[in-house]
Amino acid sequence: MDRLLRPAPRWQRRAIGAAFAAPGLLALALWAWPRAPQMLTVDSPQLAAVTAAEFRDELLLRARVEPLRSVQLDAAEAGRVETVLVRDGDRVAAGAPLYRLHSAEQEQLLMQRGAEVAQQMANVSVQRSAQATSLAQNRRELAQLQARQQQMLSEYERQSQLAAAGFVSQASLEQAERQKGLATQVLQQAREDLRLQDLTRQQSLADMARAVQGLQRGLQLLQRAQARRLQRAPIAGQLSGFQLQVGGIVRPGDRLGRIDDPAGGVQLVADVEEFYLPRLHVGQLATSAVGSLRLAQTLPLVQGGKVRVQLRWSEGEPPAALRPGQAVDLRLQLSRPTPALLLPEGPGVQTQLYVRQGRELRRRTVQLGRRAAGQVEVLAGLQAGEQVLISQPPTDAERLALP
């Protein structure tokens, strides 16, 4: 049978409500509670201690051995390689043949220029022969005019004597005088015409002679070019970098190799970053495993952001075992060593770097100075013994955690 349910006591109802409200309040409390900041951990950190030592203002260079006296073999003529008479590394004497080129175009041009010279010289010979013939004819005509003038002069004198004696009229005397004047005028005009004609012919022959000389000079240049197709050694020495092959095509200016003079000695040549160019001076000391050297010359041409320097031994002769092309490591001293705080070079060594404090890395602003030979000079902001992150930090946060 049914029975009446009695309501639960008040304290029981409150306990049940609190039980239901507790999870919600707990979730709300967890959401509203301020979370503690978490630091990023640096994976595989590279730490280095600040040390007090001498800062050596040096450049680490990789130099190569080059001869002091060498001659580059650049192609002066174009053509196809017909014969190679030497090999790379051979010792050659001055004037020894190295290779021969063949150029069909140059040979045709040489034949054409030779034919032009021969034709022009034949034209000059024809002109000179014609001039000689004309001169002979002109001399004959001039002799006839001179004889005519002498005849008219004699006739005038004879007519003058007869007119004085009354045997001829005055008209006959005047006629003889006119004939004499005409003969003299014709003779003078002929002489002037012959002089001008001779000058014209001489000028023409001189022009043709100059043209022949120009063609002959061009022919000589072609002949010398033909002779240069057989390349000879300019000096005695050892052939280096000579890789010419039969059948290859050579163009003017192609670098074919060089000849090194072993008796002239060797030097070291290195490439230096353009940044250091203002600090390079003749006489700077360099140390290496092959002895002490000094900077002898800085070549002014900048290529690929680098300049080339030449170094020579400061005392004595270079080691006899050195050969052209050999690589040598050296240290070029830019200034005297000075006491300083030093850090190893690394991507994390900047004006904003991280210093170790316990299990944390804290960012700090420092002042850095010169960099050389893998070392960085510390001017302010750090003390000897402090450890610094020299590897690249993962972020620019104020603090980082160590693993």
* 239-269 residue pLDDT tens: 888 888 888 888 888 888 888 887 778 889 9
Which of 360, 358, 356, 344 has its CA nearest to residue 388?
356
pLDDT bracket for residue 197 (50, 70, 90): confident
Shared domain for 153 and 223, answered yes or no, is yes
pLDDT bracket for residue 21 (50, 70, 90): low
pLDDT of 35: 43
pLDDT of 365: 92
Contact between residue 278 and residue 80 where contact means Cβ atoms under 8 Å apart: no
pLDDT of 309: 92
Q: Comparing 13-22, 86-95, 327-336, which segment has the lowest mean pLDDT?
A: 13-22
pLDDT of 100: 84
The model's pLDDT over 106-127, given as tens digits with 9 standing for 90+, comes to 666 767 777 777 777 777 777 7
CB atoms within 10 A of CB 372: 21
Shared domain for 96 and 239, answered yes or no, is yes
Shared domain for 235 and 293, answered yes or no, is no
State the chain's maximal CA–CA distance in angstroms: 212
pLDDT bracket for residue 18 (50, 70, 90): low
Shared domain for 344 and 388, answered yes or no, is yes
CA distance 260 to 239: 7
For strands 79-84 and 70-74, give the pairing: unpaired
Question: Does residue 31 form part of some domain?
Answer: no
CA distance 127 to 321: 72
Task: Check residues 37 and 323 and name the one with the higher pLDDT.
Answer: 323
Domain boundary pick from 275, 301, 333: 333
pLDDT of 63: 93
- Tell me the CATH number at 359: 2.40.420.20
| Calculated CA dihedral for residues 344, 349, 350, 352, nearest 10 degrees | -130
The single residue listed with the structure tokens 């050659």 is 92
Shared domain for 276 and 374, answered yes or no, is no
Q: How many domains does the chain have?
A: 4
Q: Comparing 82-91, 314-323, 375-384, which segment has the lowest mean pLDDT?
A: 314-323
Shared domain for 314 and 274, answered yes or no, is yes
pLDDT bracket for residue 308 (50, 70, 90): very high
Q: Comparing 34-48, 236-250, 366-380, which segment has the lowest mean pLDDT?
A: 34-48
Which of 244, 297, 299, 319 has its CA nearest to residue 74?
244
pLDDT bracket for residue 36 (50, 70, 90): very low
- Tell me the CATH number at 89: 2.40.50.100
pLDDT of 290: 85
pLDDT > 70: percent of the chain: 87
Shared domain for 223 and 234, answered yes or no, is no
Contact between residue 211 and residue 120 where contact means Cβ atoms under 8 Å apart: yes
The answer, yes or no, to whether residue 193 has pLDDT greater than 50, is yes
Question: Does residue 4 form part of some domain?
Answer: no
Task: Check residues 375 and 215 and name the one with the higher pLDDT.
Answer: 375
Question: Does residue 10 form part of some domain?
Answer: no
Contact between residue 204 and residue 53 where contact means Cβ atoms under 8 Å apart: no
Q: Please state the rounded mean pLDDT for residues 346-363.
A: 89
The answer, yes or no, to whether residue 34 has pLDDT greater than 60, is no
The answer, yes or no, to whether residue 17 has pLDDT greater than 70, is no
Residue 250 is part of which domain span?
A: 75-100+230-256
Contact between residue 312 and residue 294 where contact means Cβ atoms under 8 Å apart: yes
Question: Does residue 3 form part of some domain?
Answer: no
Out of 139-143, 148-152, 161-165, 341-345, the most confident range is 341-345
pLDDT bracket for residue 27 (50, 70, 90): low
Question: Does residue 16 form part of some domain?
Answer: no
Q: Taking all residues of the chain, what is their mean pLDDT, rounded to a whole number?
A: 80
Shared domain for 240 and 281, answered yes or no, is no
Shared domain for 156 and 195, answered yes or no, is yes
pLDDT bracket for residue 292 (50, 70, 90): confident
pLDDT of 5: 47
Q: Give Cβ neighbours of residue 259 (< 8 Å, ≥ 6 apart).
A: 70, 71, 73, 92, 233, 234, 235, 236, 237, 238, 239, 240
The answer, yes or no, to whether residue 162 has pLDDT greater than 60, is yes
Shared domain for 134 and 191, answered yes or no, is yes
CA distance 197 to 201: 6
pLDDT bracket for residue 7 (50, 70, 90): low
The distance from CA 107 to its chain's CA centroid, rounded to whole angstroms, is 32
Q: Please state the rounded mean pLDDT for residues 94-114.
A: 77
The answer, yes or no, to whether residue 334 has pLDDT greater than 60, is yes
The answer, yes or no, to whether residue 194 has pLDDT greater than 70, is yes
